[in-house]
Amino acid sequence: MTEIWKAADAWELLQAHQFALINRAKLAPQEWHEQLPLLPLVKKELRATPERSPALLPLAPDAPYMDALAQNLELALKKPKLRTPCALFDLFEDTKPERLQRHLADCLVPRLASGGKAYLRYFDPTVFPKLARIIPPNRWSLLYGPIRRWTIPFQNEWISFPVPEVEHKAAAWVITDPQWERIERIRFINNALMQRELTLNRPWESFEEYDQAGKVAERAMLAAQKLYGIEDKGDLMAYVVDAVTHGEHFHRHPTIQDLLRTPSPEGYGAASGELDETIWAEAQALARNTY
């Protein structure tokens, strides 16, 4: 069960967590960052410098940087790119910082079932909730380790995801090939969601709306490739954004079927851009009534 925190209640939010996670590769440096007692998540397989790796920050209530951190969260309401933490952690009792640091560093490099290792960007708040849909709960719970609640920013809120309750945890932090294929689509899906948000010209109404749009985007991407053989990235993006905009089954409209079955030399994106509003309204109605 997720829990939503208002970012305006910065002190309450910070006091409910014991550590922040910081993605230093995306960090907009500020003078007060220089004195932060960061614990870098370093793995030799990544060949990354500690200065660019994700890092943990203790959230002790009396720490001298807590006022600046609270102000940063409030500032991020208007300027999200300046936000310092990318996640907040509420831990089980008696968890030592070194254990959390070692655990999260290890989880950056899961083993692939087919052999080899991967780099998992679980620390990215636009990636984390999508991973939770891909990796089964009994294995997803392994990522949490000593973490009781994993809290990520979403627009002007913070959303807490509790550790999944499972009867038996998986034996190892392993990603299967089909799961990794889905994980590799996340960047594309995020770009499609960004495009949709721009056309909406408003924030997402809720995390649920955003999450549902992501599910539609993933299914639409597969449909475009498997049903219609669309591989060009521009055409694929146009199809996915159309699905998120007009409904997952928009493509069943006869005119759009003709366009997809007999592609124009300009490609799907250019051809669909020429369709009038009447056809899109019909496609949207058809999508709503398709189950």
Q: What is the pLDDT of residue 28?
A: 87
In one letter, which amino acid is 174? V
Q: What is the pLDDT of residue 47?
A: 64
156 close to 187: Cβ distance less than 8 angstroms = no
Distance from chain centroid for Cα 190: 7
pLDDT by residue (tens digit) across 41-68? 988 776 666 667 899 999 999 999 999 9
How confident is residue 264, by pLDDT bands cut at 50, 70 and 90? confident
DSSP for residue 25? T
Average the pLDDT over 163-175 and give the result: 94
- What does pLDDT average to over the chain? 93
Q: What is the pLDDT of residue 237?
A: 97
Centre a 10 Å sphere on the Cβ of residue 38 and count the other Cβ atoms it contains: 18
pTM: predicted TM-score of the whole model, two decimal places: 0.92
